[in-house]
Structure 1
């Protein structure tokens, strides 16, 4: 007889803690300029508050497939939430940049453990026919929390000091931690695992170099021409190639057998596509709104907020629809919506109304919400139970890597379009011409994203519901 869990209480605890972790990921983005003045640091140093966070995630997440099997659910939850709580508290009382940087690493470490733990726990405690709704709730948190970060932080900075960003989060993470310790049970069996140290080294170098290299390409003035960027990416690719070959053993650090399952591969591709579109739009659209349309940072954040809110709400609805009708009836309409909206985005100009931009962004986020949870749930549903930890780890690792790559490529396309336009302008320093230049760059990004979505649509046509048999280890 299958063990009964208090699924509602467990999910609430995971969602509260996950919200705090995802909110903290983007909460400091809008405060970078303020922190440069407070700590007397330059932009490159201040950017490490974001880069260091992403780098820690990129290095840690590939290990979670193994950690989920070596330690109990409660042990990992306590370590993850304790790291998050301590990181948030230290950030709130930071007196210098070094202390704040250390706090950010602790926050990222906690979130790096918590993300795969959330997915793995949901896979175990919910039957396949109810996972869509649970994944929809997780999607609500993972999409809405990062979007709320800049908007709420901007409001706080307008009236209070930056420390209150973290004081606001502290009671929420403490409540989530206490609630989780009270209700969360050990949902997986602990197995003795041998750590392959060569794989661990290759993983750290590979994923770390890729994430750092692409993040630096997006931040550095010289971008892809930077010797550091090129060196890091080359080292990362070589290390990851060796890492992949190394995983062909009895106890791999990251079990790549998950890619033997076709619905997992299709689902992962569609999730990566959504991640690229989401991350690229979230960085390019604010650039266009501020430089092209001349709006303030706070107003820009508020413009994006309704779309992110709608994304979260529709993810819950999409999860329920997936449980009832299967993936195709949810994913294909979502792909059509995304393609159409991106096509409309390619014709944006500085004269476009704010209302139109808000509406388009809301519809785009709604389309992504239809694709993401259904693709993710269907992908993980096809895996046998012993591969759940590795499937979650692979999915979250690729999300971190593709997030860094997508952001860097989007910024490069914007910069390339701007430079090309200004090179032919007779008055390249005029505000109107700069606005036109960034419009061209943004339009180029949206044409690229539309092409990616067309490829996603074609691949989505091959999606079918992952078959599962209750009480069976293997899914068709």
Structure 2
């Protein structure tokens, strides 16, 4: 099959738009509650480490589900998967909106995450099938815009909602869009996946769940407990061993749950690593800045959201242009520059964050950060996927989507852990420090990690090559 051959659908643009919008709402929900965490902590009397489970639990669920997506795509039609995704999303959204307790709210988030976990890899797989490779950069640029802008604008829109209404309306407003998608959007969906109904390997699903779940649960517990705690090291060991066993099993199976042979393609492996680090940058920053702006600089949720708006707007503006230029120039031109900008931004945050940082400095650093992000996510993802043969698109999409969500979960957990760590260290030196000073020092401490991550990404990006393989292979 040549690289220009695609699966025919009535309207590729309309179908891609519906899937992207569904993914946008799901990804918006990833970070929207970050701006409301302080309100939720107060309403339900929970600690920051407990409250962050609303984000980590969401990401953890997606991270567990996404590896199964390559199986789901071969068992159910495209339309069935979209209906299933929207149904889970609607049920979870209603549960969270009416939650009488933190536990019910968390359950609602997890059910909602099941919907997002289905739609993300499906969207990526469908786009790879319905658009020819020479148009893929522009389309993936729009998809990159969805993946990066939704988590970025989540806190901005949520800030307005929290201050003018109540955090529960974050869910009610999402619900309106989900219902609209079912009524209007489903008409645009055509079936594109090939139903082969491969054997379901329950052991692979179990190992995948224990592996990703164990690691993320362990990292989430470090915020309140040391690594010597059983609740930290036990799930970490179980998770690590399970992932190793899962990987060995996939390489030996004739029909693996996820075909890890995608990692035999060097540019795919490098693209996956760069995507992983890029999502770590986005999600760790997305949970830190709203807490810093509200807890240290004492801004309202609305004002905090407006401070983050220029960066989000610049990302939205730059991503489509990067996508169009990618088709002409390739990833090599964008990735090093993107990570360099992320490094400069992180450096600014490390040196300027305090309990009385001028707003313009926060806006400047955040804007530079998201211009950089617009040059990282889509080029890393598209350059990696472009090297794969057509038969591995589904596996490549599943691997990329899994890594995105695992990175988000790890980034969120590590950011909170480092924030708490930084606060503890500062309190030991300055016992009379105010809550605002503690939040600022904790945030600064976490940004040192983000700074290190941007340096690693910059080094890795220098090895990127623009490489294609014959898609018929």
TM score, norm. by length of structure 2: 0.90
Decide whether the 8 Å contact of 1:25 with 1:53 is kept in 2.
Answer: yes
1:48–1:387 Cα change, 3 Å: same
Task: Note if contact 2:225-2:232 (Cα within 8 Å) is conserved in structure 1.
Answer: no
Q: Contact 1:19–1:145 (CA<8 Å) still a contact in 2?
A: yes
**CA shift at 1:94, angstroms?**
4.5
Q: SS at the partner of 1:462?
A: coil
Return the alpha-carbon distance in structure 2 between the equivalents of residues 300 and 236 of structure 1.
37
Which residue of the partner structure matches residue 276 of structure 2? 272
In the TM superposition, what is the alpha-carbon distance from 1:97 to its structure 2 partner?
A: 5.1
Q: Contact 2:139 / 2:323 at 8 angstroms: preserved in 1?
A: yes
CA contact (8 A) 1:13 1:177 kept: no
Q: Does residue 1:191 correspond to 2:190, yes or no?
A: no
Could you tell me how far 1:110 is from its partner in structure 2?
Answer: 0.6
Matched residue count: 465
Aligned-partner SS, 1:181: helix
Provide the rounded CA distance (Å) in 2 between the counterparts of 1:390 and 1:254: 6
Aligned to 1:456: 457
Comparing 247-256 with 348-357, which one deviates more in the overlay? 348-357
* Alignment counterpart, residue 289 of structure 2, candidates 280, 285, 299: 285
- 2:217 matched to which residue of 1? 212
Check 1:278–1:93 CA distance in 2 against 1; reply closer, same or farther (3 A cut): closer
Worse-matched range after superposition: 20-29 or 369-378: 20-29
Aligned residue among 226, 231, 237 for 2:240: 237
Checking the alignment, whether the CA contact within 8 Å between 2:352 and 2:361 is kept in structure 1 is: no
In structure 2, do the counterparts of structure 1 residues 137 and 67 end up closer, same or farther at CA, with 3 Å as the change threshold?
Answer: same
Aligned-pair RMSD on alpha carbons? Answer: 2.5
Q: What's the counterpart of residue 386 of structure 2?
A: 381
Indicate which of 139, 154, 163 corresponds to 1:158.
163
Deviations 1:5-58 (A, max 9, x none): 3111112111221122112223333444545666x5644765554343223212
Unaligned ranges ≥5, structure 1: none
- Change in Cα spacing, 1:375 to 1:423, as seen in structure 2 (3 Å) is same
Q: For residues 56 and 446 of structure 2, what CA distance do their matches in structure 1 show?
A: 22
Mapped partners of 2:155, 2:282: distance in 1: 15
Of the structure 1 ranges 179-188 and 98-107, higher mean CA displacement relative to structure 2 is found in 98-107
Residues 1:99 and 1:277: Cα distance change in structure 2 (over 3 Å): closer
| Larger deviation, residues 447-456 vs 382-391 | 447-456
Contact 1:133 1:319 survives alignment (8 Å)? yes
Which residue in 2 is equivalent to 1:371? 376
Residue 380 of structure 1 deviates from its aligned partner by: 0.8
Equivalent pair of 2:296/2:436 in contact (CA under 8 Å) = yes
Paired with 2:160 and 2:12, the residues of 1 have a C-alpha distance of 35
Are 1:137 and 2:138 an aligned pair?
A: no
**Distance in 2, Cα, partners of 1:2 & 1:435:** 55
Deviations 1:197-250 (A, max 9, x none): 1111111111111122222334xx335454212211111111111111111210
Q: Is contact 2:34–2:287 with CA below 8 Å preserved after alignment?
A: no
1:348 maps to 352
Deviation per residue, 1:326-350 (Å, 9 max, x gap): 1111222222222222222221143
Whether the aligned pair in 2 keeps the contact of 1:321 and 1:330 (CA below 8 Å) is: no
Residue 333 of structure 1 pairs with residue 332 of structure 2: no
Q: CA deviation at 1:155?
A: 2.4
Q: Does 1:76 align with 2:81?
A: yes
CA contact (8 A) 1:58 1:211 kept: no
Query: Quick one: distance in 1 between partners of 2:21 and 2:307?
Result: 25
| Distance in 2 between residues matched to 1:32 and 1:442, nearest whole Å | 16
Q: How far 1:414 sits from its partner (Å)?
A: 3.3
Q: How far does residue 456 in structure 1 lie from its aligned partner after superposition?
A: 1.9
Find the counterpart in structure 2 of residue 309 from structure 1.
Answer: 313
* Alignment partner, residue 394 of structure 1: 399
Between 326-335 and 45-54, the greater mean CA deviation after superposition: 45-54
1:31 and 1:153 in contact (8 A); partners too: yes
Match of 1:405 in 2: 410
Which residue of the other structure, out of 130, 133, 141, is the alignment partner of 1:128?
133
- The answer to whether residue 426 in structure 2 is matched with residue 447 in structure 1 is no
Local SS of the residue matching 1:85:
helix
Greater shift in the superposed pair: 251-260 or 71-80: 71-80
Change (3 A) 1:387 1:456: same
Q: Is the CA contact 2:426–2:441 (under 8 Å) kept in the aligned structure 1?
A: yes
Q: Is the 8 A contact 2:54 2:106 kept in 1?
A: yes
1:164-179 equivalences under 5 Å are: 164-179=169-184
Q: Tell me which residue corresponds to 2:262.
A: 258
In the alignment, which residue of structure 1 is the partner of 2:299? 295
Return the offset for 1:441.
Answer: 4.2
Shift in Å at residue 123 of structure 1?
A: 0.7
- Kept after mapping to 2: 8 A contact 1:24/1:149: yes
- Equivalent of 1:228 in 231, 252, 263: 231
**Distance in 2 (alpha carbons) for counterparts of 1:91 and 1:435:** 30
CA distance in 2, matches of 1:171, 1:371: 32
